[in-house]
């Protein structure tokens, strides 16, 4: 009964926080205090609980440096004109007849380059929304295509915070995970693209009066060299250079371009890298080309640390062993994937953030994967195919709530975010249909 009380209170706190947009760490810490109080009442020593939390949070330390680098990369790419030129050519090359289809494809490409769903939605997503404004097409259809595309990169970019987090907690190599995610995501990508193509033909968009590309060209020097920071990342990742090194090289290239091409001073570049990029308040682009910075990812890092501390307490006290009882009923690989999907749904609904959904799901299913002799790379790709893409489908989870808010829509976009629910569905079908390995 006390555990049920904890779940209800924590959910209410997290839900209120998600709706109001407060810093998620505050309700997380409040929930942790409640949980510790309950566990003390059950007889657990305070010193042991603290040690469990510290042990759990240590799992996140390896990913913190990457998270901070991601923030710096985002800001520097904006200052260098890399993000603006990607948005510029995206808008310039789009065919209005196939607008919804291209909204999905362009957002997917940008999200892979940026490695962040929120970044993709805040840049190319807003640009596409502005371009289609006044066309009469249901904005939820366009938003669904944009959000689905945004999580394509969030799922399988070498700069994705969720991909790096999963690689860290599963102790796997990120490039191996990316390869597996490409394979398991190919069919859902093709089917989603076909569905958006059909919707495009049924809902053509008129782009008359859109001058966004012109404004980008005026605000930034958009010559071809501004592609260099993005190309640097792509080339180094293809060569399987460590992600931290690839991002550091991209930051150096972007900083040089920001100084010598865009005209920012070295001090301004440093300020952008730390606090995030921003244009003057008078600029019409101030809400599209803005953000990033180490400080923005510092908040994400704190969330990751607190979430893994939570997971450490859950693991050490085994208060969620009833979930293990449920998983122990699974006998096949397909049943385990279905169980992982169900747990990720509840984790995403309870935790209200993608980070908590990933960490909690991993914590609850890890032992069962080992029992079935499935390696860590399989667990990693299953987390990507469940917790990562399911989180945006929960209306109050900030993974979907924030993009919807940015695009000025509500949860009605969810039915049109095809890629997000085709990923777990198609993978479940594929696993169910696969023949079990032959025993010698």
Q: Give the pLDDT confidence of 305-341 residue by residue, as tens digits.
A: 888 888 788 878 877 777 777 777 777 888 899 999 9
Among 145-149, 208-212, 295-299, 410-414, the range of highest mean pLDDT: 145-149
Q: Is the pLDDT of residue 65 over 80?
A: yes
Q: Give the pLDDT confidence of 246-262 residue by residue, as tens digits.
A: 889 999 999 999 999 99
**In this predicted structure, what is the pLDDT of residue 420?**
95
Q: Is the pLDDT of residue 437 over 70?
A: no
> Tokens 């249901």 label which residue?
138
* Buried b / exposed e along 117-147 (16+ C-beta atoms within 10 A): bbbbbbbbbbbbbbbbeebebbbbbbbbbbb
pTM score of the predicted model: 0.82
Q: Mapping DSSP to helix (H, G, I), strand (E, B) and coil, where does residue 408 land?
A: coil
**In this predicted structure, what is the pLDDT of residue 436?**
60
Q: Is the pLDDT of residue 135 over 80?
A: no
**In this predicted structure, what is the pLDDT of residue 209?**
47
Q: Give the pLDDT confidence of 27-46 residue by residue, as tens digits.
A: 888 888 988 998 998 888 99
Which region holds residue 206: left if phi is over 0, alpha if psi is between -120 and 50, else beta?
Answer: beta
* Residue ranges covered by each domain of the chain: 2-56+301-433, 62-295
3-state helix, strand, coil split of the chain in percent (to 5) is 80, 0, 20
E-strand stretches of 293-435: none
Q: Is the pLDDT of residue 300 over 90?
A: no
DSSP state for residue 384 in the 8-state scheme: I
Torsion of CA 220, 74, 240, 223, to 10 degrees: 0
**In this predicted structure, what is the pLDDT of residue 210?**
60
Give 108's pLDDT tier (boundaries 50, 70, 90).
very high
Q: Give the pLDDT confidence of 389-425 residue by residue, as tens digits.
A: 999 998 888 888 888 877 878 888 999 999 999 999 9
Among 111-120, 158-167, 185-194, 368-377, the range of highest mean pLDDT: 185-194
Average of pLDDT values for 213-242? 87
Cβ count within 10 A of residue 424: 24
Whole-number Å distance between alpha carbons of 116 and 278: 18
């Amino acid at each position: 009964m006390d555990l049920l009380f904890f779940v209800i209170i924590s959910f209410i706190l997290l839900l209120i926080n998600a709706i109001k947009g407060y810093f998620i760490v505050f309700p997380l810490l409040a929930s942790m205090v409640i949980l510790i109080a309950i566990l003390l009442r059950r007889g657990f020593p305070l010193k042991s609980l603290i040690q469990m939390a510290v042990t759990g949070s240590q799992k996140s330390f390896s990913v913190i440096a990457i998270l901070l680098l991601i923030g710096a990369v985002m800001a520097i790419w904006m200052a260098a004109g890399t993000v603006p030129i990607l948005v510029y050519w995206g808008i310039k090359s789009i065919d209005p007849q196939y607008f919804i289809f291209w909204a999905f494809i362009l957002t997917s490409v940008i999200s892979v380059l940026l490695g962040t769903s929120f970044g993709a939605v805040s840049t190319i997503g807003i640009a596409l929304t502005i371009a289609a404004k006044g066309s009469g097409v249901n904005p939820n259809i366009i938003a669904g295509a944009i959000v689905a595309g945004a999580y394509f990169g969030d799922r399988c970019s070498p700069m994705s915070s969720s991909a790096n987090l999963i690689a860290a907690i599963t102790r796997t190599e990120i490039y191996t995970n990316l390869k597996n995610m490409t394979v398991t995501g190919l069919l859902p990508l093709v089917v989603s693209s076909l569905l958006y193509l059909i919707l495009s033909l049924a809902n053509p968009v008129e782009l008359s009066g859109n001058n966004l590309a012109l404004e980008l060209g005026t605000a930034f020097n958009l010559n071809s060299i501004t592609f260099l920071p993005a190309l640097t990342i792509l080339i180094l990742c293809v060569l399987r250079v460590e992600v931290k090194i690839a991002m550091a090289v991209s930051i150096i290239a972007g900083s040089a371009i920001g100084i010598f091409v865009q005209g920012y001073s070295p001090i301004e570049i440093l300020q952008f890298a730390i606090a995030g990029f921003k244009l003057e308040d008078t600029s019409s682009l101030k809400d599209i080309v803005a953000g990033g910075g180490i400080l923005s990812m510092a908040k994400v890092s704190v969330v990751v640390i607190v979430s893994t501390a939570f997971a450490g307490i859950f693991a050490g006290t085994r208060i969620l062993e009833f979930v293990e009882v449920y998983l122990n009923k699974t006998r096949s690989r397909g049943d385990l994937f279905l169980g992982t999907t169900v747990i990720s749904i509840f984790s995403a609904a309870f935790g209200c953030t993608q980070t908590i959904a990933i960490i909690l799901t991993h914590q609850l299913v890890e032992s069962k994967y080992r029992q079935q002799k499935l390696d860590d790379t399989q667990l990693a790709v299953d987390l990507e195919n469940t917790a990562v893409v399911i989180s945006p489908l929960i209306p109050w989870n900030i993974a979907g709530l924030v993009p919807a808010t940015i695009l000025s829509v509500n949860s009605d976009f969810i039915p049109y975010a095809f890629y997000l629910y085709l990923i777990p569905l198609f993978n479940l079908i594929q696993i169910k249909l696969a023949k079990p390995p032959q025993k010698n």
